[in-house]
């Protein structure tokens, strides 16, 4: 069976609901993970999305953050929150397990902290969150099953992933400490899905400011990282760039991995 898994930082699900419903109706991906839903669980527009055939699981938070998984497949299991710090109340991780013909697939949706400004507590929080994520992923990889770590990583992996890399250098998204943690994460045995199918400059985010979209001054910060068992099943990666040109867009666009199971 073919399985399409997409990630989209929706930047406020209520503000983008019309675009979300349109995209789901037109594309019909099997599993969609959303970041920055910016609502408590009770406020999520569940009924409208369920009407399209999707099962919905959320890990929300008032006004900020929040993640969700929408799936045409039933959920076998759902986990919420990143272990390792009981004082961390930010809703940034939700994981679902789904049955497929070849067994099961585990999809972990993250909204990794931005980390800016770097001279505030936000940057150490980002690095600490990434260390906790490394421990979490290490445990998941021991299961030796198809595992997809997907979402808004707030990380620019390489110079090719920014229209103007020099302009971003020193930002929390693109500085030595952040990149070191990202390399450590990948070196656990994860494959960058998009880079496994293309070496072309490809962006997933265009700022609302300074005509970034018009100038194609984008960056790539939305990623699918795959366990070996998931990487073996990857067929293609599609960046739905056209969605950025819709009315009232998010500053991110959907990124989709196509798998065969």
Q: Percentage of residues in the chain with pLDDT exceeding 90?
A: 97
pLDDT grade, residue 65 (50/70/90)? very high
Q: What is the pLDDT of residues 17-55, one digit of tens each?
A: 999 999 999 999 999 999 999 999 999 999 999 999 999
Residue positions counted in the chain? 261
With contact defined as beta carbons under 8 Å apart, do 133 and 92 qualify? Answer: no
- Alpha carbons 98 and 106: distance in angstroms, whole number: 7
Place of tokens 């400011």: 209
Residue 105 CA to residue 103 CA, distance in Å, equals 7
CA nearest 151: which of 5, 2, 4?
Answer: 5
pLDDT at 1 over 90: no
Q: What is the pLDDT of residue 47?
A: 98
Model pLDDT for residues 217-256, shown as the tens digit of each residue: 999 999 999 999 999 999 999 999 999 999 999 999 999 9
CA 211 to the chain's CA centroid: 24
Q: What tokens appear for 260 in the block?
A: 């065969």
Give 1 or 58, the one with higher predicted confidence: 58
End-to-end Cα distance, the chain = 5
Question: Which CATH number does the domain housing residue 169 bear?
Answer: 3.60.10.10
> Residues 129-159: pLDDT tens digits?
999 999 999 999 999 999 999 999 999 999 9
Q: Which phi and psi angles does 187 have, rounded to 5°?
A: -70, -5
pLDDT over threshold 90, residue 210: no
Cα atoms in the Cβ-side hemisphere of radius 13 Å centred on 14 = 12
At 70-111, the pLDDT tens digits run 999 999 999 999 999 999 999 999 999 999 988 999 999 999
**Residue 102 tokens, joined:** 């070849």
The pairing of beta strand 103-111 with beta strand 93-100: antiparallel
Range of the domain at 37: 2-260
Question: What is the total count of domains within the chain?
Answer: 1
Predicted local distance difference test score (pLDDT) of residue 172: 98
């Amino acid at each position: 069976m073919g399985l399409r898994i997409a990630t989209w930082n929706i930047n406020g699900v209520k503000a983008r609901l019309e675009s979300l419903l349109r995209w789901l109706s037109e594309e019909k991906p099997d599993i969609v993970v959303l970041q920055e839903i910016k609502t408590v669980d009770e406020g999520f527009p569940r009924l409208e999305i369920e009407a399209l055939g999707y099962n919905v699981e959320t890990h929300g938070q008032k006004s900020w953050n929040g993640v969700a998984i929408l799936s045409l497949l039933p959920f076998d299991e759902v986990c919420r929150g990143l272990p390792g710090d009981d004082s961390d109340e930010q809703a940034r991780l939700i994981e679902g397990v789904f049955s497929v013909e070849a067994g099961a697939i585990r999809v972990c949706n993250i909204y990794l902290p931005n980390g800016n400004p770097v001279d505030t507590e936000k940057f150490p929080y980002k690095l600490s969150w990434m260390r906790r994520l490394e421990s979490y992923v290490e445990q998941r990889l021991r299961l030796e099953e198809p595992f997809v770590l997907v979402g808004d990583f707030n990380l620019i992996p390489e110079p090719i992933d920014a229209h103007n890399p020099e302009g971003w250098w020193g930002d929390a998204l693109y500085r030595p400490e952040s990149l070191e943690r990202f390399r450590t994460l990948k070196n656990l045995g994860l494959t960058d899905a998009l880079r496994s199918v293309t070496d072309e400059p490809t962006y997933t985010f265009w700022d609302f400011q300074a005509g970034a979209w018009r100038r194609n001054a984008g960056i790539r910060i939305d990623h699918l990282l795959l366990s070996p068992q998931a990487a073996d099943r990857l067929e293609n990666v599609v960046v739905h760039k056209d969605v950025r040109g819709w009315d009232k867009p998010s500053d991110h666009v959907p990124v989709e991995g196509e798998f065969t199971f």
